[in-house]
Amino acid sequence: MKAKSIAFVLALLGSATVQANGTAPATPSALPQNSAQWLERMTDFTRNASAYRDPKMFVPWANAVTEPGFYTQMGVNMMEPGNWYRMMGSMMDPRSMNNYMQFTDPNMYMKWMAASMDPNFYTALMTQFADPGKMMRWMMMPMDPNMWNMMMQSMNPGMYMKWMMQPMDPRLWQLAMTPMNPAVYTGWMNATMSPATYGTWGGWMNPATYGGNGTAAPASTFNFFDPGAWMGMGAPAAQPAATGTTGAPAPATGTFNFFDPNAWMNMMNPAAYPQAAPAAQ
C-alpha cells in the first residue's frame, strides 16, 4: 500500500511538471482515450503518423502501446474484415500524402530537438514505464478476460462466416470501386501541387512569393522557384551616366557581382586599384 501511494505521488508530480513545461498535449480531449481508439488512428493512413511528428503526441502513444490491452484489442481487430477495408481505403485517400509529406517540414525536427533537450520529456516517458500498475497488468495478462476473449474468437463460427462472405460484402465492393473514381486521382494531383501538403517547405511553392505578379518577394529572400530571381543574379550593376570625360575606373568597392563581365574586366585593370602615394623625399 505504501509503495502504491509513493508511485501515485510521483506520477502526480511528474504529470504536473510536464503540464507546466508544455511537454504534455494541450488538448487531451483530442487524443484517443482507449486502445480501440488508438488502433483506429494507427490503422488510418491519413492520421497514423501524428505520433511520430510531435513529441506531445508521442508520449501518450508510447503509454498506449506498452499496455497489454493494446495487443489484445489488436488481435480482435485483425479478425474483423471491416478493419482491413477501412485501412486499405485510407491508403488510397489523398490525405494520406499530406500525412507523410509533413515529415519534410523542418519544424517537426526542431520540435524533436527541443524535446530531446527537455528533461520533462524523459520524465513523462519514465513515469509511464515505471508505473507499478502497468507492470502488474502485464503479469496478470494470462488471467485477463480480454485476453481469453481474443483467444476464444478463434473458435467463433461467426468470425469465419464473415471472411467467407467477403465477396458479397458491400464494403469490399465499395473499396474495389475506389480506383475507378476520377475524383481520387484529382484529389491526389491537388494534394501533390498544394503548398500546404509540404508544411513549411510549401512556402517555396507559393505563387504569392514570385516577383512577376506585382507582389515582389522580400529583398532578403531568394525564391528558388522564381526564374526572375535567377535572371537577376546575372544582371550587371547600373552604370553611372556619361559625363564627357574619361579617366581611371573607380576603385572596386562594395560587393562583387560574380555574373557581371565588367566586374571581371575591372579586376584585370591596374587603374581599378588604389595606388599608394609616393613617399616624401
- What pLDDT score does 139 carry? 93
Average pLDDT, the chain: 73
Q: If you ran DSSP here, which 8-state letter would residue 131 be given?
A: -
Q: Is 181 helix (H, G, I), strand (E, B) or coil?
A: coil
Nearest CA to 249 out of 274, 217, 213 is that of 274
Q: Is the pTM of this model over 0.75?
A: no
Q: Is the Cβ–Cβ distance between 93 and 156 less than 8 Å?
A: no
Q: If you ran DSSP here, which 8-state letter would residue 231 be given?
A: H
Using one digit for the tens of pLDDT, what is the confidence trace for 90-143?
999 999 988 888 888 888 888 899 999 999 999 999 998 889 999 999 999 989
Using one digit for the tens of pLDDT, what is the confidence trace for 130-179?
899 999 999 999 898 888 988 888 888 888 888 998 888 888 898 889 88
Half-sphere exposure of 139 (CA within 13 A, CB side): 6
Q: Is the Cβ–Cβ distance between 66 and 95 less than 8 Å?
A: no
Q: Is the Cβ–Cβ distance between 125 and 59 less than 8 Å?
A: yes
Q: Is the Cβ–Cβ distance between 81 and 166 less than 8 Å?
A: yes
